[in-house]
Amino acid sequence: MKNFPLRLAAAFLALALAARADLVWTPENGWRAEGGVLAPLVAPEGGGSKALDLMNEARAAEEKGSLATAASIYERVAKKYPRSELAGEALFRAGSLRLDRRQYITAFERFQDVVALHPDTPHYDRIIGRQYDISTSLIDGAHNRWWGLIPSPFPARGEGINYAETILKNAPHSDYAPLALMNIARAQQQDGKDEEAKDALDRLISNYPKSLLAPDAYLRLAQAYAADVQGPSYDQGATKQAMTYYDDFTIQFPSDPNLPAAVKGRDDMKTVLAQGKVEIGDFYFRKRDNFTAARVLYNEAITIHPDSDVAKIARARLADVDAAEAKAKAGGGPRKKILGLF
């Protein structure tokens, strides 16, 4: 009995597969439903003649090159007979024809109608692929065509980004999902929306760590944070984030051809972070005569980037601290400050 739920699920699946008829078009016979217990419901003798007549009319227009007319008729089939086995095929054909006419927005909507209303369509994978093509085209600057004739004067990058997010919901486990996230990141960066771009890259490496795009995502994320670094005198949050992603890249992808770029980026961030430690150490040493704090910060700079020029400066500063501290002790106290500055 413990396997009963599995047997029941298998039975329902088998019934669903047996019920679905395959829609086939031939020049001689037009559209016909072949196989499946539902085939009679969409065949002329089963009462589906009106829908089939419209489908054949649409295909005839399609074969003559009247794509707009054909698409409109296919859409009429889906609207008048939404529960028919023909509706999903009609929407798929309409979306494909709208795409041929570069009516990107309408085409995407028709494909999405199939996904939402007819998820068992045999065209599911093809639909996701075409939705991805539409999203990419709009992100890359393609202009939607009004009535399939007049290019819109306005770019539709925003729609392209939204469509990429829709693809993630439609097929989160498909090969298109990480590609969609990379497109989102690229588009957001081009629009100057750096935080949104970082979010997309972070989702890519978190949700698809085995993707072929993961190395590129790590590197782009590191570079995005590195671009936020303002220098050693400022907050080093972005510097540390960039270092983290550069380190992750070098550890996880040691044979990647971009490894030298990642190593250089990591070293650049270490240099900035070490310089920041030296600057703060200089403040405690020269402005406050706090030899202990200065010594800690100079040592941190050395630890961060031991083989760098910054480390050499930090070691020289440590020698200065030792000398100043010894002098202060010999003189009976800290150095006197002039005008409150030194």
| pLDDT at residue 31, as a whole number | 72
Contact yes or no for 30/56 (Cβ under 8 A): yes
| pLDDT at residue 29, as a whole number | 65
3-state secondary structure of 119: coil
Neighbours of 192 (CB within 10 A): 8
| pLDDT at residue 258, as a whole number | 97
Q: Which domains does the chain have, with CATH numbers?
A: 18-101 (no CATH), 103-211 (1.25.40)
d(CA 182, CA 176): 10
Q: What is the chain's mean pLDDT, rounded?
A: 88
Q: Kindly report, residue by residue over 159-200, the tens digit of the pLDDT.
A: 999 999 999 999 999 999 999 999 999 999 999 999 999 999
Q: Which two tokens stand for residue 177?
A: 């999902």
**For residue 38, pLDDT beyond 60:** no
Rg (CA), the chain: 32
For residues 195, 201, 203 and 204, what is the CA-based torsion angle, rounded to 10 degrees?
A: 170
Q: Kindly report, residue by residue over 289-325, the tens digit of the pLDDT.
A: 999 999 999 999 999 999 999 999 999 999 999 999 9
d(CA 7, CA 14): 10
Q: Kindly report, residue by residue over 202-241, the tens digit of the pLDDT.
A: 999 999 999 999 999 999 999 999 999 999 999 999 999 9
Q: Kindly report, residue by residue over 86-119, the tens digit of the pLDDT.
A: 999 999 999 999 999 999 999 999 999 999 999 9
**For residue 1, pLDDT beyond 50:** no
Q: How far is CA 236 from the centre of its chain?
A: 27
**For residue 120, pLDDT beyond 60:** yes
Tell me which residue has tokens 């970082």: 198
Q: Kindly report, residue by residue over 14-29, the tens digit of the pLDDT.
A: 434 444 556 777 776 6
| pLDDT at residue 37, as a whole number | 41
| pLDDT at residue 28, as a whole number | 61
Task: Read off φ and ψ for residue 24, nearest 5 degrees.
Answer: -125, 135
Task: Read off φ and ψ for residue 27, nearest 5 degrees.
Answer: -60, -30
